[in-house]
Amino acid sequence: MTSPNEQRRAAVVGTGLIGGSIGLALRARGWHVSGIDADPARAALAHQLGALDAVGDDPGAEIIFVATPVSAVAAAARRALRLPSRGLPSRGLPSRGLLGGGRVVTDVGGVKGRIVAEVDDPFFVGGHPMAGSEQEGVEGADATLFDGATWVLTPTAATDPSAYARLRGVVSSLGADVVALEPQRHDALVAVVSHVPHLAAATLMGLAADGAEEHAAMLRLAAGGFRDMTRVAAGHPGIWPDICAENSSAIVAALDRLMGGLAEVRDTVAGGDRAGLLGRLERARSARRSLPVRLVRPEELSEVRLAVPDRPAVIAEVTTLLGEMAVNVEDLEIAHSAEGDRGVMVLVVDARAADQVRIALAAKGYRPSVQPLVAR
Amino acid sequence: MTSPNEQRRAAVVGTGLIGGSIGLALRARGWHVSGIDADPARAALAHQLGALDAVGDDPGAEIIFVATPVSAVAAAARRALRLPSRGLPSRGLPSRGLLGGGRVVTDVGGVKGRIVAEVDDPFFVGGHPMAGSEQEGVEGADATLFDGATWVLTPTAATDPSAYARLRGVVSSLGADVVALEPQRHDALVAVVSHVPHLAAATLMGLAADGAEEHAAMLRLAAGGFRDMTRVAAGHPGIWPDICAENSSAIVAALDRLMGGLAEVRDTVAGGDRAGLLGRLERARSARRSLPVRLVRPEELSEVRLAVPDRPAVIAEVTTLLGEMAVNVEDLEIAHSAEGDRGVMVLVVDARAADQVRIALAAKGYRPSVQPLVAR
C-alpha cells in the first residue's frame, strides 16, 4: 500500500457537480483530494460520497481546482494562490520545468476573459472542462465525466511553463482532450458552440411548452430530434445568469448572427427557394458530419520537439497556436536542460497535422523536429 | 410452418429508409411484404436486404404503406387504392368493424394537410411515424426503428372506422405509440417540434461552421450539448424542400415565434436581467423534464368502452379528441354488434387520464364506461 506521504495531493474549492467529479476522478487515480465549499454541508456531503478524502484546505496540495460559480472564481483563486504551502513532495512529480515547481491553481468556469485578467498570476491557468450533466450538485458527480471531453486551458504570456505542463498532464490523465486557447478567443467560441445553443434550446422548449398549454398533443409529438435538441435545457439553470453576464457581448453578437441566419431560412422557406434551402442544409450536414472525433491510435500520432528559450510566453504562444489550428495535442512535456536556461518542449499531435504544425512553428521562429510516436 | 396463404399480407410503395424499416418490422412479425419503388434497383436492393418478400404489387395486400417523398404521396396513394384486390383472407384479420373490411392505404409523409385533402378516401388514413435516422436509403433500414416512436394517424370524418382500427393495430404492433390528430393540427404541431427545430439545428451548425473557417478550434469546442443539438442536421437533407414547401405557412409562423423568443432572450442578456433569464430557463427546464414518457405497465391502464353509432365520423371525433388531450391510447378496437348498425369502441388509456376521458366523451354525447384493464 502506498503511504499517504507518497500520494500526489490536490484540493477542490466548490464541491458541486464539477468539483465533485474532479474529486472522484482524481481519487480514482490515486490522488489525495481535500476540499471546501461555501456551504459546509455540501463539502461534508462530498466527503461522505467519496469525492474528497478530507474537508478543509491542504497546504500540501500541488494543484487546486476552483469549481465555484463563475462570479466567485477570481476571489477563490486568489485565496488559493495565497494559501500557505508545505514543501510539495518531489516524488511522483513530473519535471519541474523551466521555472521550477510550485502550486498550480486552475478553475472550471464557463467564461474566461475577466477571470484570467483579474487573477493574473503565473501559477493560475484558466480552465473550462466542456462536460456537464442534467444532474446538479455533488450527488450527480461522476468520475468518468471528463472522459473524452474537451477541456480548454487558457495560458497567457505570464503563465509559468512548468505549471502549465503539470496542469495539462493532470487534466489529460482524467481522460480529457486539452485545447489551449487565449481567454478572449475561448469566450467568443463558446458563445457560438455552447452559450447560444443552450439559449436556443431553452427558447425552442419554451415555444413548444407555450403551444402545449393550448394543444396538449404538442409534446407527445416531440420525437428524438426534438428531445436531443432540448436536452441541455433540462440542466441546472443556476449557472446561466453569471455566464450570460460575464460573456454578454459575445453572446449578444452570436444571438444576432443566429437570428440573422434564421431570417434567411425564413425567407428561403417563404419564397419557395428549394435549391437555396437544400444548399443550406447540405452545408450544415457536411459540417455536422465532419465534427472532429477523438484520436486514440498511437500510430496516428507524431512527436514534435522544439528547443524553447526560458521565457514563460513560449508555452502560451505554442499551445494557443496549436489550439487555434484545431490540432489535437495528445501530450505535452517540458524537459529542461541541465543548465536550466533552455528547455525542450515535446508535443504529441495528430500525425496528419504534424507537417502543418512544423511549418506554423517555423514561421514563428522555432526549429521543430518531427518524428512518428511509434515505428510504422 | 405457416403456409403463405395464412400470412397477413402488406405492401410498401417506396423502399427507402422508412419503407424498408416498415418491411423489416412487418416481416419480423410474420407478415408477407411486397414492394415497389420508382427506382427498380432500390426495390431490388430492399428485397436483397430482407425488407421485402417480393418486388411488385400484391393484390392480396390488406394494407399498403406509401413511403415515397411527400410530393409523390397523393398520386401513389390513389394508385394503391385503385389496385385490383384479390379477396382479402378472413383468417387472422381482426373484426371487419362497422363498415366491413377492405384494403387500407396509409402514408408516412411529414406533412399531412394537402395529402389527406387530395386523396380523400374512406380507406386512406394519413400517417407520420416520428422516427428517423441519420442513415439514408434502405441500407439504413431497421426493424426496430418505430419501437417507442410516436406515430401520428390523421383520420377524418370520412375515414372508415374498421380500416382505421385495423391500421392502428398494425402500427401499434410495430412498437409505435399512435396519436390521432386532425391533419392541419398535425402540420401546425410538427412545425414547432420538428420542422423548425431541424432548421434551427442546421442554422446553428452553419454558424459554427462559418466561424470555424476563421477559427479552426471552434469545432473542437463543440461538446455534448452542441452535438446533441445539431445531430438532426446530419440527416439526409433531400426530404426538406418538399416538407418546407408543403408546410411553409406553419413553418414560417413558427420561425417567426422562435426569432421573437430569441430577440427577447437577447434583450434579457444585453440588459443584464438575471431574474428574467433565470425564470425563462427554469420554465424551459421544467417543460423539458416533463416531456411525456411512454407508459407500459398494464396496471396503469384503464379500458374505456362506448357504444358508437354506425357513422364513420365517430372514429375521427373520438380519437382526435383524445389525441388533442394528449391521452396515450394504448389500444383501440371496434367490436360490431350482430345487427351491424351499432358497435362498441374499446379504448385502452392511461388510468390517470381515464376520468378526464370519460368526462370529455360524455360532453360529446357518448356514454362511456371505464374499468381497470387488469385487476388491481
Q: Residue B97 falls within a domain, yes or no?
A: yes
Q: Residue A177 falls within a domain, yes or no?
A: yes
The partner residue sitting opposite A326, judged by closest CB among B132, B219, B234, is B219
Chain B: nearest CA to A101, how far in angstroms?
30
**Where residue A355 sits, what CATH number does that domain have?**
3.30.70.260
Q: Which of A181, A204, A236 is the last residue of a domain?
A: A181
Contact list, A220 vs chain B (CB under 8 Å): 150, 177, 179, 292, 323, 326, 328
**Where residue B56 sits, what CATH number does that domain have?**
3.40.50.720
pTM of the model: 0.76
Count of alpha carbons within 13 angstroms of residue B96, beta-carbon side: 11
Nearest to A151 by CA among A185, A179, A175, A116: A179
B269 and B355 share one domain: no
Rounded Cα distance, A253 and B180, in Å = 42
Rounded Cα distance, A141 and A233, in Å = 19
A273 and A352 share one domain: no
**Where residue A233 sits, what CATH number does that domain have?**
1.10.3660.10
Number of folded domains in chain A? 3
The partner residue sitting opposite A130, judged by closest CB among B188, B221, B277, is B221
Query: What's the confidence (pLDDT) of residue B92?
Result: 37
Q: Residue A94 falls within a domain, yes or no?
A: yes
Closest-CA residue of chain B to A223: B130
Rounded Cα distance, B110 and B35, in Å = 21
Nearest to B146 by CA among B121, B169, B172, B127: B172
The partner residue sitting opposite B269, judged by closest CB among A152, A251, A277, is A251
Contact call for A259 and B259, based on CB within 8 A: yes
Q: Residue A196 falls within a domain, yes or no?
A: yes
Rounded Cα distance, B151 and B108, in Å = 9
Positions in chain A short of pLDDT 50: 1-2, 89-100, 295, 338, 376
B123 and B198 share one domain: no
DSSP state of A61: -
Q: CB atoms < 10 A from the CB of A14, how many?
A: 28
Q: Does B147 touch chain A (CB under 8 A)?
A: no
Q: Residue B50 falls within a domain, yes or no?
A: yes
Query: What's the confidence (pLDDT) of residue A375?
Result: 60
Domain enclosing residue B12, as ranges: 7-181
Q: Residue B1 falls within a domain, yes or no?
A: no
Closest-CA residue of chain B to A192: B208
B147 and B69 share one domain: yes
Q: Residue A193 falls within a domain, yes or no?
A: yes
B112 and B200 share one domain: no
A311 and A270 share one domain: no
Give the pLDDT of chain B (376 residues) as one tens digit per residue: 445 557 899 999 999 999 999 999 999 999 999 999 999 999 999 999 999 999 999 999 999 999 999 999 999 999 999 998 776 644 334 443 333 457 999 999 999 999 999 999 999 999 999 887 666 788 889 898 898 888 999 999 999 988 999 999 999 999 998 999 999 999 999 999 999 999 999 999 999 988 877 777 787 788 777 888 888 888 878 889 999 999 999 999 999 999 999 999 999 999 999 999 999 999 998 888 877 665 456 678 888 888 777 667 888 888 888 888 888 787 787 766 545 556 778 888 888 888 888 899 888 888 888 888 766 5
A193 and A265 share one domain: yes
Contact call for B200 and A229, based on CB within 8 A: yes
ipTM score of the complex? Answer: 0.75
A171 and A205 share one domain: no
B174 and B69 share one domain: yes
Nearest to B140 by CA among B256, B45, B261, B209: B45
A277 and A313 share one domain: no
Chain A: nearest CA to B15, how far in angstroms?
22
Nearest to B183 by CA among B106, B111, B110, B113: B113
Q: Which of B159, B181, B203 is the last residue of a domain?
A: B181
Rounded Cα distance, B285 and B278, in Å = 10
The partner residue sitting opposite A225, judged by closest CB among B197, B205, B325, is B197
Contact call for B220 and A328, based on CB within 8 A: yes
Nearest to A125 by CA among A162, A174, A92: A162
B231 and B362 share one domain: no
Q: Which of B289, B317, B342 is the last residue of a domain?
A: B289
Query: What angle (nearest 5°) sits at the alpha carbon of residue B313, between those of residues B310 and B317?
Result: 120
Q: Which three cell numbers stand for residue A25?
A: 476522478
Contact call for B202 and A281, based on CB within 8 A: yes
Q: Residue A294 falls within a domain, yes or no?
A: no
B22 and B60 share one domain: yes
HEC secondary structure over chain B: CCCHHHCCEEEEECCCHHHHHHHHHHHHCCCEEEEECCCHHHHHHHHHCCCCCEECCCCCCCEEEECCCHHHHHHHHHHHHHCCCCCCCCCCCCCCCCCCCCCEEEECCCCCHHHHHHHCCCCEEEEEECCCCCCCCHHHCCCCCCCCCEEEEECCCCCCHHHHHHHHHHHHHCCCEEEECCHHHHHHHHHHHHHHHHHHHHHHHHHHHHHHHHCHHHHHHCCHHHHHHHHHHHCCHHHHHHHHHHCHHHHHHHHHHHHHHHHHHHHHHHCCCHHHHHHHHHHHHHHHHCCCCCCCCHHHEEEEEEEEECCCHHHHHHHHHHHHCCCCEEEEEEEECCCCCEEEEEEEEEHHHHHHHHHHHHHCCCCCEEEECCCC
Query: What's the confidence (pLDDT) of residue B30?
Result: 96
Scan residues 28-57 of A and list those with Cβ closer than 8 Å to B.
none
Q: Does B79 touch chain A (CB under 8 A)?
A: no
Count of alpha carbons within 13 angstroms of residue B315, beta-carbon side: 30
Contact call for A206 and B284, based on CB within 8 A: yes
